Amino acid sequence: MVPAFRRELMKRNVELKKVPKKAGVMVLFYPDQKNTAHFLLILRKTYEGVHSDQVAFPGGREEEIDRDLLATALRETEEEVGVPEKSVAVLKGLTQVYIPPSNFMVSPFIGLCSDELSISIQEEEVEKVVEVPIQDLLDDKKIFSKKIKTSYAVDVDVPAFKLNGYTVWGATAMMLSEVKDLLKQVL
């Protein structure tokens, strides 16, 4: 799910990547009322910034109080969507993803809540929660290519997922691609 232009951009940003900001995000799986497995995405608020109005995983920037990036992902998930840290069983860390436009190195983690979620969004940062059935992620028909206007290029083709009516691209799509590959190994 890495577009060709991004590979080139990453080569040019080697110096920045030496000291990136750090973030942790949570790929959170949980059952719905019918006991169907879902995962959680958020739609970010519209603001002046490179990640405005994008679909992402709950998570965010590392803070001094965090003992590590897993703690960051758990803290940010609780802040953004109200899922208590103690209710998340962390299963696995995923491959880190570097985001050139914002100079972030993001560490994603897979977590599991065994109970249906009671969601409470942080209205300053989160516009909406997007709940996605795992079957939608596994459906290859949900992958497509779309021209997107990015912060560092104009109208570039990017691979993306279409999930619950939202286009999921960039770093989040790359992480979802890894999750999809892992799920296919066990299902």
- For tokens 């110096």, what's the residue? 15
DSSP 128: E
Nearest to 174 by CA among 75, 73, 99, 71: 99
DSSP 46: P
CA distance 161 to 95: 19
pLDDT in tens, 85-131: 999 999 999 999 988 878 899 999 999 999 888 899 999 989 999 99
51, pLDDT greater than 50 = no
- For tokens 């006991």, what's the residue? 35
Sequence-ordered list of residues with C-beta below 8 angstroms from that of 133, at least 6 positions apart, any chain: 32, 36, 37, 38
pLDDT in tens, 139-171: 999 999 988 776 655 677 888 999 999 999 989
Identify the band that residue 14 occupies on the pLDDT scale cut at 50, 70 and 90. low
Percent of the chain residues topping a pLDDT of 70: 83
The pLDDT of residue 102: 83
- Confirm if 103 and 9 have CB atoms less than 8 A apart: no
The pLDDT of residue 46: 62
Determine if the pTM surpasses 0.85: yes
Domains delineated in the chain = 4-177 (3.90.79.10)
